[in-house]
Amino acid sequence: MTEDKFFEIKKQILIEIKKWDKIIIHRHERPDPDALGSQGGLAELIRASFPETEVFTAGVDNRTLEYFTTMNRPEESDYEEALVIVVDTANPPRIDGKEALAHGNKVIKIDHHPDEDRYGDIQWVDPTASSCSEMIADLWQTFPDELVLSDEGARLLYGGIVGDTNRFLYDATTPKTMRLAAALMEKDFSPTALNNQMNEINPKVAKLIGYVLENLHVSENGVGSILLTEKILGRFGLEDEDTHQVVSLPGNIAGVLSWGIFVQQKDHTFRCRLRSKGPVINGIAKEHDGGGHPLASGANAKDEEEIKEILEKFEKATIDFKKSNLS
């Protein structure tokens, strides 16, 4: 059995959780399944283990993922005597409800993104984990005599793992990921029902998928890109949060090695959803008000000129990747 290098930090987090009568859990803005899964899963874990503890979940609900969980938001006054835990968020600017953190006491960071922006009084950062939901499941399994996980908590954590591994397809999926997923599946919920919910596409999004596949531009080096302007989204009756189901599409096309889905916001800037099947892209994302994993990142572009800059950097990264694989 391999040594758990994070055991002491997990123990410290558990001790800290036990100290507080009130805990507020935050995650990043525009949450995905892992953000909601780890946030809601941790809340369920604490509630089931320590019933006297008051637990809040902070942030704006995601309309397209309400079947996952919705928020139990705190009042500003709740922060005065609360422990704050931030999950799945690499840097403070991305925290949903970050303004409220100033009113809190101790802050714990639990995250699986590269640790490039340290914050909080206690940090548990494991970039080898497939997801933050995996880390919360690992916390539960590390202290089985002290922590109790509800069926709903298991459903949330399982969904978060499925979401961030793209149904266990990504390289970040490890034997540990599968063992923890199996332990979660022992609980009383239906993985099949949840997977069906996550796979379901509404008719409007189905039409957008067709548009993306038909209009995706792919360069000769294998860089894919498409701009989804407000006008285009309006044509399908969709908004930014509806676009998450098209992000992985270009990766299914032979020859595409890296790609960007650029979604126009109401202020006419662009949210940049960046992905790769080899070239490392998180450094590029960081240069454009973003960051993330080596092969899955997000950024922001003020206009189409900045998008052009990002794609030029993608071209170089993709060319360098091809050369390194030939040598």
220 lies in some domain: yes
| Residue 293 exposed, middle or buried by CB count within 10 Å (0-12, 13-18, 19+) | buried
Torsion from C-alpha of 29, 32, 36, 39, nearest 10 degrees: -60
| pLDDT of amino acid 2 | 59
228 lies in some domain: yes
- Shared domain for 144 and 218, answered yes or no, is no
CATH number at residue 33: 3.90.1640.10
- Shared domain for 194 and 230, answered yes or no, is no
2 lies in some domain: no
- Shared domain for 265 and 175, answered yes or no, is no
- Shared domain for 138 and 270, answered yes or no, is no
User: How many whole angstroms separate alpha carbon 55 and alpha carbon 44?
Assistant: 9
| Number of domain units in the chain | 2
143 lies in some domain: yes
Q: Which of 232, 207, 221 is nearest to 276 (CA)?
A: 221
Which of 198, 223, 246 is at the close of a domain? Answer: 198
Contact 180, 132 (CB under 8 A): no
- Shared domain for 79 and 213, answered yes or no, is no
Angle (nearest 5°) at CA 180 between 178 and 181: 60
- Shared domain for 317 and 180, answered yes or no, is no
| pLDDT of amino acid 1 | 45
Residues of the chain with pLDDT under 50: 1
pTM (two decimals): 0.89
- Shared domain for 184 and 214, answered yes or no, is no
What token pair was written down for 71?
């928020």
CATH number at residue 299: 3.10.310.30
Report which secondary-structure segment, H or E, holds 301: strand 296-301
Contact 277, 251 (CB under 8 A): yes
| pLDDT of amino acid 101 | 74
Q: Which of 129, 126, 135, 120 is nearest to 45 (CA)?
A: 135
Q: Where are the beta strands (DSSP E) in 19-91?
A: 22-26, 54-57, 83-87
Count CA atoms closer than 13 A to 192's CA, side-chain side.
0
Count CA atoms closer than 13 A to 168's CA, side-chain side.
11
User: How many whole angstroms separate alpha carbon 147 and alpha carbon 130?
Assistant: 22
- Shared domain for 130 and 15, answered yes or no, is yes
58 lies in some domain: yes
Which of 168, 198, 228 is at the close of a domain? Answer: 198
- Shared domain for 170 and 68, answered yes or no, is yes
Question: Which tens digit of pLDDT belongs to each residue from 75-105?
Answer: 989 998 999 999 999 889 889 998 877 776 7
- Shared domain for 98 and 221, answered yes or no, is no
User: Which domain, by its residues, includes 125?
Assistant: 7-198
- Shared domain for 75 and 209, answered yes or no, is no
3-state class (DSSP) for residue 94: helix
Which of 198, 232, 248 is at the close of a domain? Answer: 198
Residue with tokens 């993608």: 314
* Type of residue found at 83: L
For residue 223, which phi and psi values (nearest 5 degrees)? -100, 120
What are the helix and strand counts (H, E) for the chain? 10, 11
Question: Which tens digit of pLDDT belongs to each residue from 221-232?
Answer: 999 999 999 999
110 lies in some domain: yes
- Shared domain for 60 and 186, answered yes or no, is yes
138 lies in some domain: yes
15 lies in some domain: yes
